[in-house]
Amino acid sequence: MSSYLDQLNEPQRLAVTHTDGPVMIIAGAGSGKTRVLTYRIAHLMQQGVEPFHILALTFTNKAAREMRHRIEKVVGQEARNLWMGTFHSIFAKILRIEGARMGYTSNFTIYDTEDSRSVIKNLVHELGLDDKVYKPAAVQNRISWAKNKLISWQEYTANPFYLADDTEAAKPRLGELYKLYVLRCFKANAMDFDDLLFNMDVLLRDFPEVLNKYQHKFRYVMVDEFQDTNQAQYVITRRLAGRFQNICVVGDDAQSIYSFRGADIQNILNFAKDYPDLYTVKLEQNYRSTQKIVQVANQVIANNRNQLPKSVWTANAEGQYIEVIKAATDNEEGRLVTVSIFEEKMKHQAPNTDFAILYRTNAQSRAFEEALRKQGLRYKIYGGLSFYQRKEIKDLLGYFRFVTNQRDEEAFRRIINLPRRGIGDTTVNKIVVTAAEADLPIWEVVANAGQHLGKNRAAAAIDDFANLIKEFKITMEKKDAYEAAQHMAQKSGLLKELYEDKTPEGRARYENVQELLNAIKDFTTQEREDKSLGAFLQEVALLTSVEDADQDDDCITLMTIHMAKGLEFKYVYVVGLEEDLFPSQMMLASRDDLEEERRLFYVAITRAEQKLTLSYALQRYRFGNLRPCEPSRFLEEVDQRHVQINRLGRPTAGGDVYGVPQPRPESGGYGRPMTNYAKNLISRPASNQPTGGLHKVSANFAASDPAKLREGQRVEHAKFGFGQIKKLDLQGADKRATIQFDQAGEKTLLLSFAKLMIIEG
């Protein structure tokens, strides 16, 4: 038997050698998926299959490069003749060959996101539409959705349901924009990323000779990360494999986390229905993680109903307990996680590259960045810029800088037309040149635009800008850093512009600016002599400076969990495990959404090789206020037999995950419902934990039967205190109550988690 087959366990060997017919390889986390896919391709070539007849589709160029390199080690340079790459790169290659049939030349342009958005922006302007209603990003998202569902502009504009949806969203001309966008791109001999999928499907659907050609060419079709495919990708691969039926898909339904990009988990869940003679192999041995990590991951994902059955196990060592860090605030969470990393580094002499901090949203990185800097630990942000280097952060900081120092030309250039105020590059350059020729500060020209630039529309806009800066300067001199910053963010129009962008990217930018304001709020609450905005800017400048000489790659990894998929680290910290953060408040509308959030948590857990640490904060800055947080329901699903608590730096064992010792149930370590945990942690706060404003639960507190709840009743909640039920929604599985609390304001709570005691009514 070939040496490469000797390196495989029995299920892996079956997956590699069963080459004909439809095959589904369900690959659990850490089960050697890449090795199996690599050796399967190598085995086909060893059996005499020409590399030109093998198509392997991946989701990243990195994965394709890694597999090709491994295959070369087995079969030599013939591996270079494989058709292997991302969906978009392979389909672009075919479209350059066959695109003339559809009216494109072989040198068509591929528009990136910015290019396509610019086209849409111009179309909105040409049609005289309001770009605050027809926001280019939102229009782009809708067109992308349609293309990934293989809905042409002709079908879209003829469908009354789409028109009704658009009309309800106050965008009745979206279909027209879709049509004009497609025609404009075609006229420019251009395709966007979605067109590479859409047009590939059209090519195979409408030109039988092309379909026949590539069905005979690609006798074996393989798809990596199949759980991440969208409708277009699945339809195309089915078409290509239609003649020989030699299609092999590899994936793990438990790691399907990209529905927001159009991924459809039903592709993998229903694959057996599409191929009744399917041969299924389950790779269930985990080679990556310790027994405790694997067991915790299994128990968490077992709470999902919609999944393919499998039982992941490992022969690795039992490993360390999963550590849970309970912090008083988000800034304290950053400090405690950093202290933990430092201690592990010292104990094991581990390099920075062994450590990863994983979070749900990019906005969470700030507290960890600042704590790591203060500890002198190098880190790198993946999938995004460092917090203070993000555009929206630099934009607002640009206002702060220019108000503080009107000689700052770079800050001036950044903010002069942000948000847009009709001051173009020509006018900006004229200001700079005039200031240089007259040897004057830029501010002198700006503050006296009529004198230096003459009376015109641009000069009037500059006068308005100058008055805004003068007002900001007065505010900064009278207010502390947070009040001044909040005023500038609002009055400048930056905050409003970000708030009105409802795309996922827009929401993320808005959250990032709020996180900056939270950082300034925290700055002003600390004991320090100077709490001005200028002092904050100086501190930020010192925090973000990097020595050019120190360019080594030994860095701690900071990234979102979505970015971490496919990676592994010896020490993993999953942070911010709080309700409305993880799971996200935007993913609680349905069971499908909640199950995807749980799969995301599963992915985070299974990145860890040796040690997993989970953390949460009891209070977190949101919109400038320190607000109480409720521990995530996912913490409750972590088997406490495998948990060790670190309560504000004091490790304990044998307690519940919120740091309050209690008996464990006989049947597997699950604790009481979440809000009872929350009640305990709030009524018995750890030392140094701020308790001002938190409700002290009544001594006789006992949750009432939810069936007895009625609108108008007075109730008590363990954390939010006393309030009155305004509305009950008892339809479906997720029953909810809207309650007006005396101190915490209006809250909508899930009755399956929010234990309430009826006081009266």
- Residues with catalytic annotation? 33-34, 224-225, 255, 607
Rounded to whole angstroms, the Cα distance separating 409 from 442 reads 7
Each as own residue / partner, the long-range contacts of residues 208-211 (CB below 8 Å, 24 or more positions apart, any chain) are: 210/98, 210/101, 211/239, 211/242
Q: Kindly give, in sequence order, each residue whose CB lies less than 8 Å from that of residue 754, ignoring residues fewer than 6 positions away.
A: 675, 717, 737
Rounded to whole angstroms, the Cα distance separating 621 from 356 reads 23
Omega within 30 of 0 (cis) for the link into 583: yes
Rounded to whole angstroms, the Cα distance separating 474 from 135 reads 35
Rounded to whole angstroms, the Cα distance separating 348 from 716 reads 48
**Nearest Cα to 632, choosing from 665, 594, 666, 668?**
594
The label of the residue with tokens 């050019």 reads 548
Residue 74 tokens read as: 């087995």
Q: What single letter denotes the amino acid at residue 739?
A: I
Rounded to whole angstroms, the Cα distance separating 5 from 14 reads 10
Chain mean position to CA 254? 17
Q: In 332-381, at which residue ranges do the beta strands (DSSP E only) sit?
A: 355-359, 379-381
**Nearest Cα to 24, choosing from 12, 15, 33, 34?**
15
Residue 109 tokens read as: 């342009």
Q: How many CB atoms lie within 10 A of CB 526?
A: 8
Q: Kindly give, in sequence order, each residue whose CB lies less than 8 Å from that of residue 1, ignoring residues fewer than 6 positions away.
A: none
Residue 160 tokens read as: 């009354």
Supply the DSSP symbol for 80.
G
| Beta-bridge mates of residue 581 | 584
